[in-house]
Amino acid sequence: MAETLFDMSAMGRPRILILGGTTEARQLAERLAGYRRYDAAISLAGRTADPRPQPLPTRIGGFGGAEGLAVFLELEKVSLLVDATHPFAARMSHNAATAAAATGVPLLGLRRPAWEAQPGDRWTRVASVAEAVSALGAAPRRVFLAIGRQEVFHFEKAPQHSYVVRSVDPVTPPLNLPETTAILAHGPFAEADELELLGKHAIDVIVAKNSGGTATYGKVAAARKLGLEVVMVERHKPAEVPTVCTCDEALERIHQRLSPVKDRGV
Ligand code: NAP
């Protein structure tokens, strides 16, 4: 291979590839950047127009399915693959499991736990964004779509509602809906700010993905305070791979797997 993502001067050190796109992936990248005994890099899908710089060598764009990823893992001699993609990035996670099984490269999932409904929450649980559209019902409502931009097109099937759509980058192509307000913003989103947003736009229902974590929980807590319904899109069942919930746990597993010595230096 003419060019490698990894550090050529670090030959012999175990290579770790993080599949990223989440806060947890960035946190793990920051931690791994401090270890000279590993040669780590991160891969992003390239969905965000202006991604924040990463603390590790970074590649951007798809691999070409599970087969492409398998080829990449072999050519780059990756020792360990960490799937730290978003809980709703189901295809990438499936590809990671398939490629890891095909190549024998160990795979570790890093996935924050889903949110659990608390007393006072009014959740309508659905299995997909398409199902969320039906769950809004026939009568016009004021809907806050907090599901990112990739799947909001489904709501074109329900033009009777008015929508506030929040995303990091603009929705493309623009939504074919009569009443839409676009908000471009990057989390984390505090509960107080979410309360203000919900009030300002007189929202009566929120559509959210059960992403877990704290960065986007503010809207769920705010909905509880206001007694608003949340149409909650639940996660697909993930592939059965060893999975941890936190960056600390991931690091511990990486040490166990790649340098099972008592020394915990860098
Ligand atoms: P997806 O549907 O599971 O993946 C679609 C394709 O995008 C994959 O098959 C792969 O292409 C490519 N891809 C995804 N993640 C990649 C990565 N980290 N590195 C290289 N290629 C990647 O995923 P998605 O829902 O489009 O999400 C894309 C990215 O955005 C993920 O990295 C995810 O962590 C992040 N994200 C997603 C959501 C969400 O709600 N879905 C929310 C926040 C962040 P090839 O098949 O060609 O390899």
pLDDT tens sequence across 168-200: 999 999 999 999 999 999 999 999 999 999 999
Choose which residue among 85, 154, 166 to substitute to test ligand 1 binding: the one with the highest number of ligand atoms within 8 A of its C-beta. Answer: 85
- Give the whole-number percent of the chain exceeding pLDDT 90: 88
pLDDT of residue 2 exceeding 80, the answer is no
Give the mean pLDDT of 89-112: 97
pLDDT of residue 158 exceeding 60, the answer is yes
What is the pLDDT at residue 261? 65
pTM of the model: 0.92
Q: How confident is the model at residue 124 (pLDDT cuts 50, 70, 90)?
A: very high
Give the mean pLDDT of 130-146: 98
Q: How confident is the model at residue 264 (pLDDT cuts 50, 70, 90)?
A: low
Q: Tell me: the pLDDT tens digits for 203-213?
A: 999 999 999 99
Look at strands 15-19 and 80-83 and give their pairing.
parallel
Q: Tell me: the pLDDT tens digits for 224-259?
A: 999 999 999 999 888 889 999 999 999 999 999 998
What is the pLDDT at residue 266? 67
What is the pLDDT at residue 121? 98
148 Cα nearest atom in ligand 1: 40
What is the pLDDT at residue 1? 45
Tell me the C-alpha distance between 158 and 222, whole Å: 25
65 Cα nearest atom in ligand 1: 46
pLDDT of residue 28 exceeding 50, the answer is yes
Centroid of ligand 1 to alpha carbon of 147 (angstroms): 14
